[in-house]
Amino acid sequence: MSTSLSRYLVEQQRAKGKIPPELRLLLEVVARACKSISHSVNKGALGGVLGSASTENIQGEVQKKLDIIANEVLIDANEWGGHLAAMASEEMDSIYLVPNRYPKGEYLLLFDPLDGSSNIDVNVSIGTIFSVLKKPDGVEDVSEKDFLQSGSQQVTAGYCVYGPQTTLVLTVGNGVDMFTLDREQGSFVLTHEGIQIPADTKEFAINMSNMRHWDDPVKKYIDECLQGKEGPRGKDFNMRWIASMVADVHRILTRGGVFMYPWDKREPSKPGKLRLMYEANPMSWLVEQAGGAATNGKQRILDIVPTQLHERVSVILGSNNEVERVTGYHLKP
Ligand code: AHM
Ligand code: MG
C-alpha cells in the first residue's frame, strides 16, 4: 500500500520522534498550499494567472501575477492554524506577523512562493521553496532579528516543484524524501526515500552568459569542464540550466550534478543573486541531507549568520567532490 504524506508525517512523529505535532501540522498546511498553487499553475492562461502584475518586490524585480497569488495562498493557509508566530517571503518587504485574532505558535516560516518566475509564462518547471526556524526562546513579540538565524538552525525545509509532475521534497533532518501529487486522490504519495546524491558527476548547471563577469576560480572550474576528455578532468561534461533553482536542484537530487550561481562583477556589491534565507538555506540543507555539499565558495552556506532578511549569497551546491573542488579553487587560487 502506498504511503500518503499524512501517514508519513504521523509515523515520523510517532515512531521516530522526529517531529512534534505542531510541526506536522505546519507541513500538512504547507503541502496543502502547494497543492493549491499547483492547481493555479496548471490552469495557466485558462485561469488568467499568466503575465506580470504592475508591482515590484523589495529586490526591485517586477512581480508576476503568480508570484502574488502563491504568496497569498501560503499566507492564507498558514496564518490561522496556531502553529506559526510569523512568516517572511521573497515577495514581502518585511516579516508578516500572525494577526492577533489567531493563536500564535513557536515556528517561523520563510518562503520563496514561486521560484523561477521568469519561466512561468513559458510553461517551464517552477516551484515553491520553504524553510522553517524556531522562534528564539522567551521571545514574545517577534521581530525581523528573530529570523536572522543560520541555516543550521532550520527544523524543516523543502520545496515543491511544479513540472510534468508536482513533487514535494522534504527534510526534517533525517534524510530527504520525495512525494508525488496524485491528482485523482488529491494527496501527496511517498515515491522516493532516502535520496542520495552521487559524489561525482559529469553535469554542471550555471548561467554561461555571465561567464565574462565571473571570478577566476569559477572561470577556471568551468574552463576545465569545457575541455572535456582532452583537459585536466579527463572526462566530457554536460551542461543544464533551467533558470528555476527548484528544477535544477531537483535534477541534482535525482541524478547528481553541481549547481552554481556565483558572485559576479555585474553588481559587485551584492554577494550573489540568490537569497540566503529562503532559497540557499533550504536547498543547502536538502543537498547536505542527501550526502552533497553547499558552500558560497569560502564557507558552508548553513554556517552563515544572516544580517538581513533578504540577504543574498553566492551558491555552489550538489555532488560532494565537485563542490569541494570549486571551493578549493576559491580558497587556494
Ligand atoms: P526568482 O526567485 O525571482 O525566480 O529568481 C531566482 C531564480 C532561480 O530560480 C534561478 O536559478 C535563477 O533565478 C535564474 O537566474 P538567471 O535568469 O539569471 O539565469
Ligand atoms: Mg527564487
- Structural domain range at position 232: 203-331
Tell whether 32 and 76 lie within a shared domain: yes
Tell whether 33 and 52 lie within a shared domain: yes
CATH number of the domain residue 13 falls in: 3.30.540.10
Is the CB of residue 115 below 6 angstroms from any atom belonging to ligand 1? Answer: yes
**Residues pairing with 167 in the sheet:** 161, 180
* Ligand 2 centre distance from Cα of residue 118 (Å): 10
208-240 exposure pattern, b = at least 16 Cβ within 10 A, e = fewer: eeeeebbbebbebbbeebeeeeeeebeeebeee
Q: Among 133, 159, 192, where does a domain finish? A: 192
Domain count, the chain: 2
Q: How confident is the model at residue 51 (pLDDT cuts 50, 70, 90)?
A: confident
* Ligand 1 centre distance from Cα of residue 102 (Å): 35
Q: Among 192, 221, 237, where does a domain finish? A: 192
Is the CB of residue 207 below 6 angstroms from any atom belonging to ligand 1? Answer: yes
Tell whether 261 and 166 lie within a shared domain: no
CATH number of the domain residue 253 falls in: 3.40.190.80
User: What percent of the chain lies above the pLDDT cut of 70?
Assistant: 99
Is the CB of residue 154 below 6 angstroms from any atom belonging to ligand 1? Answer: no
Tell whether 312 and 172 lie within a shared domain: no
Q: How confident is the model at residue 16 (pLDDT cuts 50, 70, 90)?
A: low
Q: Please give the C-alpha separations between residue 285 and each of 48, 153, 183, 249, in angstroms, as whole numbers.
A: 35, 10, 28, 12
116-143 mean pLDDT: 95
> Diameter of the chain by CA atoms?
66
20-43 mean pLDDT: 95
Query: For the segment 280-290, what is each residue's pLDDT rounded down to a tens digit?
Result: 999 999 999 99
Tell whether 43 and 183 lie within a shared domain: yes
198 within some domain? no
Residue for grid cell 498546511? 29
